[in-house]
Amino acid sequence: MKKKIEIIPFSILVIFIILLAACGGNAPAADSAAGDQQGKLKVVATTSIVGDVVANVAGDNVDLTVLLPIGSDPHSFDPSPQDIAAVADAAVVFANGAGLEAFMDHLLENAGGDAVSVHVSEQVDFLEFEGDEHEHEGEEHDHEGIDPHVWFDPNNVVVWVAAIESNLSELDPANAETYAANAQAYIAELEKLDTWIEDQIALIPAENRKLVTDHTVFGYFAARYGFEQVGAVVPGYSTLAQPSAQELAALADAIGEYDVKAVFVGNTVNPSLTEQVAQDTDVQLIFLYSGSLSDANGEAPTYLDLMRYDVNAIVAALK
């Protein structure tokens, strides 16, 4: 007598196959804080400028998220829940540091996770801003502190590149050679930029190398290329302070005394006060890129483009 063959229901067979696949060694790895489904390192950068430098070192080997939207002021940025989630999932967060991103401590605390926090400016030789204390609307303001706007000297961005390359290579040793090669190639571009800026600045008469800006953002640029910061609408390194009437009057006097040719305002700053100063002193108002790149179709989609744009604008206004 022949045995009866029992047919296994199709649904049970499918479940059995799935279970076998789950137990096998060839199943795809689940997402982790260190990588996405393609195995790429998850990386967060704070500003678009930091993000561009990270991208030049990392190439296509990382999954990069930039927190600040184009045109945002890093001094006043408030992270969203999506930003907190991005940091929670990241392997590393690259920030300018030096107090630029006041939101960072709170963001990292809320995000939790295992992300390494890297201040790319940590090894920069910082400039200190020494200002006067004053009262404004019943509150005392002290404008002293470290100047965080280090990227206005390309040599400081070389320091960034070293920090980025070192940390990416440690977290992702399989791509360490690529990171090192990309870093060297980008450093060469930064060195060319520095030489080009020196050549352009030589076109400006020494007596015209006076800078008046919306806030004290060009300290490293002035120190590197022989300018004097005559004053700023907001006499400090942050855009969050408000100048007093006495400070604005002193700035107007300085503009006249030094025969300043132009007042410069950054793309992340409300220009109304700077426009008023330029109008009151009868000097031209020039817009620059300061704390953010432009979008991809704009005038400064990369850090190298930002510096070239700003230098061209400064030279045209002052030569």
Three-state secondary structure call for residue 267: coil
Span 275-296, mean pLDDT? Answer: 94
Could you please report the per-residue DSSP string of 59-93?
TTSEEEEE-SPTT--TTT----HHHHHHHHH-SEE
Closest CA to 190 of 74, 308, 47, 292: 308
Which whole number is the average pLDDT over 110-124? 96
- Considering only residues 184 and 141, tell me which one the structure prediction assigns the higher pLDDT: 184
- How far apart, in whole angstroms, are the C-alpha atoms of residue 216 and residue 238? 8
> pLDDT tens, 135-146?
333 333 333 489
Give domain limits for the chain. 41-193, 201-318
Inform me whether the pLDDT recorded for 16 exceeds 90: no
Report the C-alpha gap between 252 and 106 in whole angstroms: 38
Pick 201-318's CATH classification: 3.40.50.850, 3.40.50.300, 3.40.50.1980, 2.70.150.10.
3.40.50.1980
> Alpha-carbon Rg of the chain, whole angstroms?
26
The chain-wide mean pLDDT, for the chain, equals: 85
pLDDT of residue 134: 35
Cα-Cα-Cα-Cα dihedral of 158, 161, 163, 166, to 10°? -130
Strand 62-66 and strand 41-45: pairing? parallel
How far is Cα 189 from Cα 257, in angstroms, rounded to an integer? 39
Average pLDDT over residues 224-238: 84
Give the C-alpha distances (Å, rounded to integers) separating 225 from 72, 107, 146, 155, 157. 27, 36, 20, 12, 16
Contacts 24+ apart (CB under 8 A), 63-67: 63/35, 63/36, 63/38, 65/90
State how far the Cα of 135 lies from the Cα of 244, in Å rounded to an integer.
8
* Structural element, H or E, at residue 230: strand 228-234
Contact between 21 and 27 (Cβ < 8 Å): yes
Residues in the chain, overall count: 319
For the segment 92-111, what is each residue's pLDDT rounded down to a tens digit? Answer: 999 999 999 999 999 999 99
CATH superfamily of 41-193: Nitrogenase molybdenum iron protein domain (3.40.50.1980)
Q: Indicate the pTM of the whole model.
A: 0.83
Nearest to 264 by CA among 149, 161, 181, 114: 149
With contact defined as beta carbons under 8 Å apart, do 62 and 42 qualify? yes
Residues 6+ positions from 206 with CB-CB distance below 8 Å: 226
pLDDT at 234: 78
3-state secondary structure of 247: helix
Residue written as token pair 């990171």:
179
How would residue 54 be classed by pLDDT, with cut points 50, 70 and 90? very high
Fold equal for 41-193 and 201-318: yes
Residue 28: predicted pLDDT: 34
